[in-house]
Amino acid sequence: MNAASVAGRLVTPFVYLACIVAWEWLCRALAIPSWLLPAPSQIVTASIAWAPELATNSLVTLRETVFGFVLALVLSVPLAAVIAFNPLARKLVYPLLLGLQSIPKVALAPLVTLWFGFSEWPKIVIVVLVCFFPILVNVVAGLESVPKSMLDLMRSLGAPQYMILRRLRLPAAMPALFTGCKVAITFAVIGAVIGEFVSAQSGLGYLIMISTSQSQTPVAFAAILALTLLSVALFYVLEFLERRIVTWAM
């Protein structure tokens, strides 16, 4: 590894470190109160002091996020196949889904809570709603991205539809599927937090809401940091799976 390569790898962490140092310096130089904007050192102190609560609530948000994401994946992929292969379904279902996607999920959260009660299900339903459309759109695009010449070749060889789907359409759709999943997983964390803001007794969104209401801003920032790390970790888990599964597109 040459010096240029090492320098290139160090640019990103150096920029982040410089931003943190500047943030710390400004908070100290301007004497900004911690309830308004805590310094990074205060956030770290709050993270250590509240580590058990952060861990417990992170697990709650993680469970809601993963369960809702998997449920959205299970629902969206078959429907995407129906839309891709059936022009009538595309004309009837696609506009309805687009309309549903256009509704702000914050506006739906109180209604979902009213319908499903004060359990984890409202948060899971919100996660499903925010994840469903990105996955579906990308899978539809992936299934339709197969070159017509390759389809004609397989049909000319007498390949049945299930073989065309398994050997041609699904491999072509896998990169698009993972692209949709990586977009959706970041939305999933946001959806879980939206649900926790509306009705929850636990979770990082609930911890943020309670800590800000009590002017414990460092704790709120510590919870936001935990949310960020959770979202990034889930994104890279999907990227790892993509590299192991979609080897032909790497």
| Cβ contacts of 83-91, under 8 Å, gap ≥ 24 | 83/136, 83/140, 84/139, 84/140, 84/143, 84/144, 85/143
| pTM of the predicted model over 0.85 | yes
pLDDT value of position 96: 82
**d(Cα 109, Cα 131) in Å, to the nearest integer?**
15
**d(Cα 245, Cα 234) in Å, to the nearest integer?**
16
Those residues with Cβ within 8 angstroms of residue 132's Cβ, 6 or more apart along the chain or in another chain: 72, 75, 76, 97, 184
Q: How many CA atoms lie less than 13 Å away from 47 in the CB half-sphere?
A: 16
* CA distances to 19, 35, 117, 228, 232 from 48, in Å: 22, 18, 34, 17, 21
User: For residue 216, what are its two tokens?
Assistant: 């414990």
Q: Which of 61-65, 117-121, 226-230, 234-238 bottoms out in mean pLDDT, i.e. has the lowest?
A: 117-121
pLDDT of 1 above 60: no
pLDDT value of position 189: 92
Total residues found in the chain within this entry: 250
DSSP secondary structure string for all residues of the chain: --HHHHHHHHHHHHHHHHHHHHHHHHHHHTT--TTTS--HHHHHHHHHHTHHHHHHHHHHHHHHHHHHHHHHHHHHHHHHHHHHH-HHHHHHHHHHHHHHHHS-HHHHHHHHHHHH-SSSHHHHHHHHHHHHHHHHHHHHHHHT-S-HHHHHHHHHTT--HHHHIIIIIHHHHHHHHHHHHHHHHHHHHHHHHHHHHHS-SSSHHHHHHHHHHTT-HHHHHHHHHHHHHHHHHHHHHHHHHHHHH-GGG-
- The 10s digit of each residue's pLDDT in 12-57 is 788 888 999 999 999 989 888 888 889 999 999 999 999 999 999 9
Whose CA is closest to 178, among 144, 139, 231? 139
- The 10s digit of each residue's pLDDT in 93-151 is 878 887 777 888 788 888 888 888 778 888 999 999 999 989 998 988 888 877 777 77
